[in-house]
Structure 1
Amino acid sequence: MPQRLSGLDAAFLYFETRSMPMNVAFTAVLDPSTVPGGYSFEEMRSHIAARVPLVPKLRRKVVDVPFRIHHPVWVDDADYRPEHHIHLARLDPPGDERALADFVADLVSRPLDRRRPLWEFWVVEGLEGGHIALAGKVHHCVVDGVSGADLMPAFFGLAPEPEPIEPPQTPSATLPGELELLGWSIADRVRGTVAGIGALGRVGWATDAIRRLRLEGEPAGGTPMTAPPTPYNGAITAGRSMAFGRLPLDGVKEIRQATGAKLNDVVLTITAGALRAHLLDLDALPDQPLVAAVPVSVRREDQFGDLNNMVAVMFEPLRTEVADPRRRLELTTADSAAAKREQQIVGKSTLVQLTEMVDPLTTGMVWDLYSRAGMADRHRPAVNAVVSNVPGPPVPIYLGGAKALRLYPMGPVAESMGLNLTVMSYDGHLDIGLLTASALVPDAWEVVEHVEAAYAALRQAVGLA
């Protein structure tokens, strides 16, 4: 029997519109001078293609069940060909990071072809310094941030000489007959609905429990649907802007050690400082904190390596209203502890279970109407931005022998939420990918350029300058 998409996986399919392609993307800047025997696109494509079988979902496509009575299923693509998914591009001079970011922004603005497995990799030549890049996108129904990082061992190695591989013996995922599939779907839908109803009850109980804690004076996390209006929020088009950044991991850890904060608290504080500066530039700084959605993996240890969405969401204040960086970090540390406590009250698996009730027939139609009508311009934003922190490799890695110099992650933006900042640790650095909806934030570099200054200001404020 083929594997069914979970409700959360399927929701990312249903929410996709012409203005909102639901792509998770990454960009690796590579040094081809380390390739044994020399670099060529043909050899790089062969290296990637040979490793696709290590990730079975990359050879499978999504197929609807009869009458769309339940979520779609993954089936083997009999017409799979590597050349449909692995492409070559070349940047015009000077081939700097801005040119690469423009290429990636255009790449993620286009939806994937649902008649095929939902991924594309592009080998990009012509970067300054003789470098190349691997730019890829995978549909969000396949991966979340953590499972996206789990893709790396399939294609990257720890040494320039690629290790031999032995593709696993994976059972085929063929499509059964319509009657069998229909019966299986009905039974599975009933089970999912029961789980979803239970999750809905937990949400109601958790909401009341959190409300009572706050009334008793306990510290609070962020509250969705109370976010202040900002230039980052509103109706979007398909256009995207992309920017890259980098911070020294040891320097960020020094801030953590000097203050007792967690690494993610430091990242959120730096992000808030950068957004504060950008909003001041625009004369649009609210007098209350922003609200960020912070995805959190709920994947068990035995589920690492599985490609699907296993996330919960914490809602955290971004203290953009606070001018002093040290005070901003102190508040962020307290806010993060409160947000984590409230998310634990809601439950790790609640979101995953709740989305089992997402309806395959109506969800996409309703969301498309919402998008076409520009409804995101007519209500208060649920959150202002998404901020993610994904652990990456602590040591250098190689793609087909080419050393990865930088690893930039990026998640999608959405209607009313036009800014997504994702951080990945790699080989002593924090690499930053910022994606914006260009209808709201035309130049993502204007935001990223404030990140380094916010980092420096925080170090000075805690006595490390």
Structure 2
Amino acid sequence: MERMQGIDAGYLYMETPTMHMHTLKVALIEPREVFTMVRFKDELLSRLNQLPPLRRRALPAPFALNHPLWIFDRPIDPDRHVFHHTVPAPGGMAELEALIGTVASTPLDRSIPLWELHVCEGLADGRVAVIGKLHHALADGIAANALLANITDQNHSAQTDLVTRVEQTPSTIEQVRLALRDAVALFPRLGALLWRTSVSLRALVRHRRHSDVAVPRPVLDAPRTSFNGPLTSRRIFATCTLPLDEIKEIRRTHDVTINDVVLGVVAGALRRWMGDRGERLSTALVAGVPVGTDPPNGPVRLGGNRVSNLFTTLATDIDDPFERLREISRTTAEAKNVQQTLGPSMLIDWVQFTPPGPFSAALRLYSKSRAAAKHPPPLNVIVSNVRGPGDEVTISGARLSDLFSVGPILEGIGLNVTAWSYGERLNISLLSCPDLLDDLGPLVAELRPALDELHATEKRVAK
């Protein structure tokens, strides 16, 4: 039993009936033998000891006196976590993606550990799709990657003994005592955080005086688009796969990062797609880019969140894809400098002091009143890039042939684009709300041409 960190709890507080804060992980598996749900559930139970976050549920503090507790006080009931689906005929990716959108449209049950697995049979090629639905409070992309690694056959060090011991649920009086004790222990840190913040803000002012690169400001610089508005509970999902070696080639040629290239591809696709819809903007789209703040070569982390956000331009107001990529790279580099000046953990440290009751109530009121329609969006799109397994892996002898992932969308920000590498592929997943963006297909179709556009600029660099 342990107190949930503020940054993890924040994802619980943000959740409303229309804003679901779970992430999706979609694994396409080639079974080595006849697949059965009974065998799948048995295999899952045998591996839960290697997946500690999946054994714990969130126990809210009485009267919202503090962040919830993580507690393992009940055995896992697989029937409440694992569900079976049949992909409609003809069993292609389009039918699977539609099913994934349906799965994404409902929140997780807060009374049990915050995850579900949806097993999908009926794919025409004989593969089985497993949709993992994992609340963001449990793990960010880096931790989710470590959880996956922990259950692969390639990880020989993982233990397989099932732990059945459960903790005793504390009484309400004991929960109150623990909540107050932990709150009192936390507050001496506030003075040091205030001082550190003031020092960092002064350093940022000095830095900005000498910088000639402007980082976009949330709300102030983001134009309104058709996909920026209040959400409903419904979700749609789509995927695209691009060759990772082509992404790396563009990175080397232009001396930028892989993340810059991903942003450039997304920018090019959005620009072309919006132009085809007659949606032309005079100012550039603004992207929020989640970035991990784990120290280099730190210990493997199997749960929780160590993530901050960068705000950068997608330079969609620039016609030339070469100049667009350069502007994205320059702005993203400056956004990283800003983050380093403030301190990578600044946001995480402040969120620790989030008051659970008022914050959650405010977000629910915001969603219910559809307030996102009444002001400019904080930003236009969330774009994530996570490095997945470099080599293909197997789980219980079954080949994991592909892997996709996507994070949540937020009120006012109705599009999430997540790139997750696996082997030699960059698998891109898109999530949106059909009441804002009714069909992701035309946007997905522009990703490959946007990559080709960047390829064409390599000749100019070579000259």
TM-score by length of 1: 0.93
Q: Aligned pair 1:108/2:107, yes or no?
A: no
**Residue number among 182, 186, 198 corresponding to 2:180 in the alignment:** 186
1:14-29 alignment, distance < 5 Å:
14-29=13-28
Offset at residue 411 of structure 1 (A) = 0.2
Which stretch shows the higher mean deviation, 452-461 or 179-188?
179-188
Offset at residue 344 of structure 1 (A) = 0.7
From the superposition, tell whether residues 132 and 68 of structure 1 become closer, same or farther in structure 2 (CA, over 3 Å). same
* Equivalent in the alignment of 2:219: 225
Offset at residue 172 of structure 1 (A) = 5.1
* Equivalent in the alignment of 1:250: 245
Instruction: Verify the 8 A CA contact 2:73 2:167 in the aligned structure 1.
Output: no
Which stretch shows the higher mean deviation, 43-52 or 268-277?
43-52
Q: Aligned pair 1:7/2:6, yes or no?
A: yes
The separation in 2 between residues aligned to 1:429 and 1:239, in whole angstroms, is 29
Amino acid at match of 1:148: A
From the superposition, tell whether residues 91 and 222 of structure 1 become closer, same or farther in structure 2 (CA, over 3 Å). same
Amino acid at match of 1:20: M
The separation in 2 between residues aligned to 1:316 and 1:99, in whole angstroms, is 34
* Equivalent in the alignment of 1:452: 448
* Equivalent in the alignment of 1:437: 433
Aligned to 1:247, the other structure's residue is in SS state: strand
From the superposition, tell whether residues 173 and 315 of structure 1 become closer, same or farther in structure 2 (CA, over 3 Å). farther
Q: Aligned pair 1:292/2:287, yes or no?
A: yes
* Equivalent in the alignment of 1:49: 45
Offset at residue 164 of structure 1 (A) = 8.3
Offset at residue 303 of structure 1 (A) = 4.2
The separation in 1 between residues aligned to 2:158 and 2:69, in whole angstroms, is 32
Offset at residue 264 of structure 1 (A) = 0.9
The separation in 2 between residues aligned to 1:4 and 1:39, in whole angstroms, is 39
Offset at residue 188 of structure 1 (A) = 1.8
Offset at residue 156 of structure 1 (A) = 2.9
From the superposition, tell whether residues 164 and 252 of structure 1 become closer, same or farther in structure 2 (CA, over 3 Å). closer
Aligned to 1:267, the other structure's residue is in SS state: helix
Offset at residue 443 of structure 1 (A) = 1.3
Offset at residue 332 of structure 1 (A) = 1.4
**Residue number among 268, 274, 281 corresponding to 1:273 in the alignment:** 268
* Equivalent in the alignment of 1:124: 120
Instruction: Verify the 8 A CA contact 1:10 1:72 in the aligned structure 2.
Output: yes
Aligned to 1:188, the other structure's residue is in SS state: helix
Offset at residue 51 of structure 1 (A) = 0.8
* Equivalent in the alignment of 2:64: 68
Q: Aligned pair 1:422/2:418, yes or no?
A: yes
Offset at residue 184 of structure 1 (A) = 2.7
Q: Percent identity?
A: 32
1:45-444 alignment, distance < 5 Å:
45-158=41-154, 165-167=159-161, 173-195=167-189, 198-199=192-193, 202-203=196-197, 206-207=200-201, 209-226=203-220, 227-300=222-295, 301-444=297-440
1:107-157 CA distance string (max 9 Å, x none):
111011111111000111011211211111011111112111222123333
Amino acid at match of 1:68: A
From the superposition, tell whether residues 8 and 396 of structure 1 become closer, same or farther in structure 2 (CA, over 3 Å). same
Aligned to 1:287, the other structure's residue is in SS state: coil
The separation in 2 between residues aligned to 1:13 and 1:271, in whole angstroms, is 29
The separation in 2 between residues aligned to 1:56 and 1:20, in whole angstroms, is 26
Instruction: Verify the 8 A CA contact 1:74 1:173 in the aligned structure 2.
Output: no
Amino acid at match of 2:216: G
1:190-221 CA distance string (max 9 Å, x none):
34344456545655554554455334443233
Which stretch shows the higher mean deviation, 202-211 or 403-412?
202-211
Instruction: Verify the 8 A CA contact 1:77 1:116 in the aligned structure 2.
Output: no
From the superposition, tell whether residues 271 and 193 of structure 1 become closer, same or farther in structure 2 (CA, over 3 Å). farther
Instruction: Verify the 8 A CA contact 1:44 1:400 in the aligned structure 2.
Output: no
Instruction: Verify the 8 A CA contact 2:73 2:166 in the aligned structure 1.
Output: no
Instruction: Verify the 8 A CA contact 1:285 1:321 in the aligned structure 2.
Output: no
The separation in 2 between residues aligned to 1:151 and 1:306, in whole angstroms, is 6
Offset at residue 462 of structure 1 (A) = 1.5
From the superposition, tell whether residues 99 and 80 of structure 1 become closer, same or farther in structure 2 (CA, over 3 Å). same
Instruction: Verify the 8 A CA contact 1:193 1:356 in the aligned structure 2.
Output: no
Q: CA RMSD in A?
A: 2.3
Amino acid at match of 2:5: S
Amino acid at match of 2:286: V
Which stretch shows the higher mean deviation, 265-274 or 73-82?
73-82
Offset at residue 410 of structure 1 (A) = 0.5
Instruction: Verify the 8 A CA contact 1:200 1:354 in the aligned structure 2.
Output: no
From the superposition, tell whether residues 38 and 158 of structure 1 become closer, same or farther in structure 2 (CA, over 3 Å). farther
Which stretch shows the higher mean deviation, 212-221 or 421-430?
212-221
The separation in 1 between residues aligned to 2:288 and 2:164, in whole angstroms, is 36
Aligned to 2:356, the other structure's residue is in SS state: coil
Could you tell me which runs of 5 or more consecutive residues in structure 1 were left unpaired when the two chains were aligned.
Answer: none
From the superposition, tell whether residues 317 and 196 of structure 1 become closer, same or farther in structure 2 (CA, over 3 Å). farther
Aligned length: 459
From the superposition, tell whether residues 268 and 196 of structure 1 become closer, same or farther in structure 2 (CA, over 3 Å). farther
Offset at residue 48 of structure 1 (A) = 2.0
